Amino acid sequence: MELRSILNLLSDGEFHSGSDLGRTLGVSRTAVWKALGQLEELRLPLESVKGRGYRLLRPLDLLCGKSIQSYMAAQAVENISIEVLLSTDSTNTHLLEKQLEGNLYESCLAEYQTAGKGRRGRKWVSPFARNIYLSIAFNLDGGAEALSGLSLVVGLSVVKTLASLGVSGVELKWPNDVWLSGRKLAGILVELHGEATTSWRVVVGLGLNVDMKPEDAEVIEQAWSALSEVSDIGRNELAGNLLSGLYCDLERFKLGGFKDFLSDWNKFDALAGKVVEINSGAIVGIARGVDLSGALLLEVDGALSAVNAGEVSVRLG
């Protein structure tokens, strides 16, 4: 019996007896009991009450490939494969280990990550079925210059998608974060395989907090937010719209690079005009937007300089 089958039944948060679960799934109560024991590995709190059965303490909005596709534009459905995993170490790692052929995109979503990745080796907190853990892989021709501004385009795509779904107050914090009300809502991680002079296999990872609770985030050391604070959109609808937006924007990026996105970026720039710190205070200046390659423009003592996205972290001063 697949664990997903019993999760689908328990996802409503209501009580289900062991015998009812077994009857519906066509398995013995012993098999049900063993499956329920696996929920502990996923850190899903399960309540057991004699005479009533079992229930999850919090209902689940589970991902489904077909449901995600129902919210996607036709072109995106045709060009993006979707794989939904119950658990994996990292959606980025999962796609990096696979071979991608042709010009199609391959996406992977997971309910739970045991070793989710953030920038600079940080761990991405990944409670089960609470957020979006999504990676998309594609081939990109060209040398290192072909990658300039890619993570900014992905962040911009996320913000535009959220805005189209009625979410306001979302901004971009250069280079890889999406903010909601001044707190981190989402992060982006770009990983590469390939030859620096010819072509790349690109995997873009997105972690977006949807219904994260304080008890899920005790180890997070920065201010964070969750989409549930301002929207009740379901995760399948959100994932479908995100994939459609990414497909359109990545195709556009392949043709023209970051320069075609610059004016849109400026509309959502959370740092523009603010005093910022580079590398925890090694450099302090005023953020003046980004250049045509996506590098941060920093004003220090009246002079502008470009800061490469791959070398720095930025904090409000």
Q: Residue 305 belongs to a domain with what CATH number?
A: 2.30.30.100
pLDDT value of residue 317: 46
CATH code where residue 79 lies: 3.30.930.10
Exactly one of 4, 119, 123, 254 is catalytic; name it. Answer: 119
Q: 127 with 191, same domain?
A: yes
pLDDT value of residue 270: 93
The CA-based diameter of the chain, rounded to the nearest angstrom, is: 74
Cβ neighbors of 267 (< 8 A, separation 6 or more) are: none
Q: 163 with 181, same domain?
A: yes
- Tokens representing 17 are 């007896």
CATH code where residue 43 lies: 1.10.10.10
H or E, element range at 298: strand 296-300
- Tokens representing 238 are 């959100």
- Which 8-state DSSP code applies to residue 91? H
Q: 46 with 84, same domain?
A: no
- Would you give the distance in Å from CA 74 to the centre of its chain? 22
Q: 33 with 128, same domain?
A: no
pLDDT value of residue 213: 77
pLDDT value of residue 44: 87
Catalytic, 184? Answer yes
Amino acid identity of residue 114, one-letter, is T
Cis omega (within 30 of 0) for bond into 45: no
- Distance between CA 184 and CA 187 in Å, rounded? 8
Task: Give the residue from 136, 34, 60, 55 showing the smallest Cα distance to 95.
Answer: 136
Q: How would you write the pLDDT of the chain (317 residues) with one tens digit per residue?
A: 578 899 999 999 999 999 899 999 999 888 898 888 888 778 888 999 988 999 999 899 999 999 999 999 999 999 999 999 999 989 999 999 887 666 689 999 999 988 776 655 566 678 898 999 999 999 888 777 888 999 999 999 999 999 999 999 999 999 999 999 989 999 999 998 866 667 788 999 999 999 987 776 666 767 888 999 999 999 999 999 999 999 999 999 999 999 999 999 999 999 999 888 887 667 888 999 999 999 999 999 999 999 885 445 565 54
Q: 111 with 189, same domain?
A: yes
Question: Domain range for residue 303?
Answer: 271-316
Q: 164 with 309, same domain?
A: no
- Which 8-state DSSP code applies to residue 113? B
pLDDT value of residue 170: 96
Exactly one of 29, 184, 201, 252 is catalytic; name it. Answer: 184
Q: 11 with 90, same domain?
A: no
Exactly one of 34, 52, 274, 315 is catalytic; name it. Answer: 315
Q: How far apart are the first and last CA of the chain?
A: 54
Considering just the CA atoms, what is the radius of gyration of the chain in Å? 21
Query: Up-side HSE of residue 78: CA atoms within 13 Å toward CB?
Result: 4
Total domains, the chain: 3
Q: 90 with 210, same domain?
A: yes
